[in-house]
Structure 1
Amino acid sequence: MRKKLTICTNCEQKSAEGFQFCPHCGLKFNEELTIGVLFYNTISNYFSVDARFFKSFIPLLIKPGFLAKTFIQGKRLLYLHPAQMYLFVSVVFFFLFSFISRKQVESVDKVFKDDLKKTSLKLDSINKNDAQFNDINFDSIVKSNEVKGVNRKITYNFNQTKVDSLIQLNASNETIYKAMGMPEDAGFFKRKAYSQMLKFYKQRNGGSLLQGFYDSIPVAMFILLPIFALILKLLYYKKGPFSYHLVFSFYFFSFLFMAFGILIATNFIIKLPDSLVTIAILSTFFYLLIAVKRFYEQRWFLSFIKTSIATFSFLLLVIPLAIIVLSLATFMFY
């Protein structure tokens, strides 16, 4: 007798009658979508991730390399997925970091505003229509309006008094660019740089510039993580495909964000001494060393050499380059 077949509404695969769940996708047959079912699935899915996170939390902190090794061995449902772990921990870290960055942004803004108040020129008595912007006449105007005895906190590589005077006299941007030192044969990118510099100088909101840089860090870190994995791949080119090194990198960066997040959270409660913070930061190298030793299964001396190469290659080459690019991009499109 031919068995009756059931078609799954989710994956549309056929299976024999009698199964409570689809053998292909796991959907429960003939389950009505009630309010109870809807919230049960939502809550159970949320707490399954949450439970795996807490199950992964302790091994990530105290067993370097364990989660990465376990994952590539095929045990991929016991602990939180490496990419999932990275995204979750990084979100929490940058949320905590936002409190620190906000204070720094406010501090920078205060410095710029104080500097602007100290160096503002009172040129109301100058007849703007009669002002001639030739070198002799304008230099005498600037000289007469020099602010003496002012300790500028922020200095630029141009005559600020002259530029301030030109701004208050509503001079053209071209005239101001020339006062700032832009050559007459400046190309597009150089003119764009002077344009952004003048915009920044007029507004004096350095905090926004700093905030833009901070906002770029999460994206930059997500780009830098595969570069770290690539460095490991070059050092351990015989130890599996690139995806293995990427798994290791996801878990290691998750540890970094988690460790620094704990430091920030603790510092909110108790002011930690700088020496303790320095020790905690340096300890991340030894964590990486142990993780590399456990994951790649090489001798301690060789692991130390390769860990040092990976660390210094990343810090001395990648991060400064990323900071320069981020700073340039933030400044150019500010």
Structure 2
Amino acid sequence: MIDKQIVCKNCEEKFDSNYRFCPYCGQKSNDELTLGVLFYNTISNYFSFDARFFKSFIPLMFKPGYLANSFIEGKRLLYIHPAQVYLFISVVFFFFFSFISRDQVERMDKNFKETMHKADVIDSLSVQTSLDSLGGNEAIENIKSKNAIKGVVGKELINVTDSLENSITGKKIEPKTVLGFNKRIVDSLTKAGVKDDRILEAMGMEKEASAFQHKLYRQLLKLYRQRNGGALVQAFYDSIPLAMFILLPIFALILKLLFYNRGSFSHHLVFSFYFFSFLFIVFSLLIIADFIWDVPALVDAIFMLSTFFYLFMAVKRFYKQGWVISFFKTNIAAFLFLLLVIPLAAVIVAFGAFMFY
């Protein structure tokens, strides 16, 4: 009896109907699209959430450098791919991290608005109290709102009204300074409908300012007007995943310089993928623990110290050098990365978040 031939929907090759999977491409012969199939394929293809992940988890956590060695030696189907494990674990970490960042964003937004409100109140009272007692406040407000002095606009208008205030009160009223500029000047020019370019000049921007300086002052004015410091912090946190993806090859480059004759750059990149995956797992566990109870600072310190010990053992196993030289090079790598690369990256990310939030 000849078995019935069917055509694979994926590669369009013919094969016997008694096969459950296509012998040419491996797709299931009767692969009906259901919600289960859809989501399984998504998770499997993008995160490789299969038996290899669980087989890789224990060595990743408790056998430093083992997975990197296995991958370099050619065992690339037995364990999960280094880039895939990094992608999956980083997504999990930043999911948990989003809960912490959300609280900090809300707190920052609230504190920033309270600070700006206090500055407004203090600045208003410092002028209002002295002017009301002498009956000069109404005249000054009319000058500011109606621009009664012809030909006097912008910063010159503020100088005129400040002079009138000083003559009425008999003393100099110091304006409140926030974010590096005179807030009363900015507030008055904004109420008078002056164009932003004039306001930026009043804030201290030179007329011949470059496009970069113009953008910087405009972002500063935007932050002052919107008073949403939380949005700035959120922009910073949103930039961290990209920054980490850039920091990882930099860490691999440091290892390449320290172990120049120990493989190509791709070898060090494999090591870095697995090590950063371990870091994300540790940080995720700390975040989860913090949700359950208030983790003491000593416990946090022990966990952080364990990451250095893990790196040391991974370096020893992967690069196959002596204990002393491995410990020495691990310290150099940690020093360069933690005290030079990460602080510089943090400054760049924070500045970028401010410029583009």
Q: TM-score range by the shorter chain?
A: 0.7 to 0.9
State the 1:51 CA deviation.
2.9
State the 1:95 CA deviation.
0.7
Gaps of 5+ in 1: 1-5
The answer to whether structure 1 residue 215 and structure 2 residue 238 are counterparts is yes
Q: 1:235 aligns with which of 254, 258, 262?
A: 258
Is contact 2:52–2:80 with CA below 8 Å preserved after alignment?
Answer: yes
CA separation of 1:180/1:26 partners in 2, compared to 1, >3 Å: closer, same or farther?
same
Describe how 1:28-107 pairs up with structure 2 within 5 A.
Answer: 31-34=29-32, 39=36, 43=40, 49-107=49-107
Q: Which of the two has higher C-alpha Rg?
A: 2
- Amino acid aligned to 1:33: D
Distance 1:312 1:101 in 2: 27
Instruction: Report Cα offsets for 1:228-281 as digits up to 9, x if no partner.
Output: 112112221221222211111111000001000000100100100122212312
Distance 1:177 1:11 in 2: 63
Is contact 1:101–1:211 with CA below 8 Å preserved after alignment?
Answer: yes
State the 1:19 CA deviation.
8.2
> Which secondary structure state, in structure 1, belongs to the residue aligned with residue 180 of structure 2?
coil
Gaps of 5+ in 2: 1-5, 129-136
Distance 1:238 1:304 in 2: 18
- Amino acid aligned to 1:176: I
Is contact 2:56–2:79 with CA below 8 Å preserved after alignment?
Answer: yes
Instruction: Report Cα offsets for 1:117-165 as digits up to 9, x if no partner.
Output: 22226699512122644163043368689689xxx9x942222333333
- Amino acid aligned to 2:31: L
**Percent same amino acid at aligned positions?**
54
Partner of 1:168: 191
The answer to whether structure 1 residue 303 and structure 2 residue 326 are counterparts is yes
Describe how 1:267-306 pairs up with structure 2 within 5 A.
Answer: 267-306=290-329
C-alpha RMSD of the superposition: 3.3
Is contact 1:142–1:162 with CA below 8 Å preserved after alignment?
Answer: no
Is contact 1:53–1:80 with CA below 8 Å preserved after alignment?
Answer: yes
CA separation of 1:51/1:200 partners in 2, compared to 1, >3 Å: closer, same or farther?
same
Partner of 2:134: none
CA separation of 1:168/1:79 partners in 2, compared to 1, >3 Å: closer, same or farther?
same
CA separation of 1:32/1:280 partners in 2, compared to 1, >3 Å: closer, same or farther?
closer
Q: Which moved more, 1:56-65 or 1:265-274?
A: 56-65
Aligned length: 323
CA separation of 1:17/1:204 partners in 2, compared to 1, >3 Å: closer, same or farther?
closer
Instruction: Report Cα offsets for 1:67-125 as digits up to 9, x if no partner.
Output: 11122122222222111111111111111111111111111111111122222266995
Give the TM-score taking structure 2 as reference length: 0.79
Instruction: Report Cα offsets for 1:140-197 as digits up to 9, x if no partner.
Output: 368689689xxx9x94222233333333333332332233211232122111211111
State the 1:44 CA deviation.
8.5
Distance 1:167 1:142 in 2: 20
Partner of 1:193: 216
- Amino acid aligned to 1:106: E
